[in-house]
Structure 1
């Protein structure tokens, strides 16, 4: 942020949205429902069969 304080301008890197490794950007970005589903699966709230069924229902 020092660049912003000195120049008053944002660089393209500063304006970009931070993403987790493996996340896509732009076209094809995951929906909020898909992100929640992925998080629930990662926490162990859903088993693989439940996860796949929910993906099917979401159409992803």
Structure 2
């Protein structure tokens, strides 16, 4: 695992989740969640993004061999 790539994927996934949550709140689709829930959603989305990105990278490496 490349720590820089993992960090970028984690940050990008978390940022995307934060934007989605804020857009849903601004649009009135969902009520404003507690800050703790927002942090949890962003953390889980970031972790999922990093894991899926690393998995995709590793499968590309195996395919190129």
Q: What TM-score comes out, normalization by structure 2 length?
A: 0.34
Higher helix share: 2
Larger Rg: 1
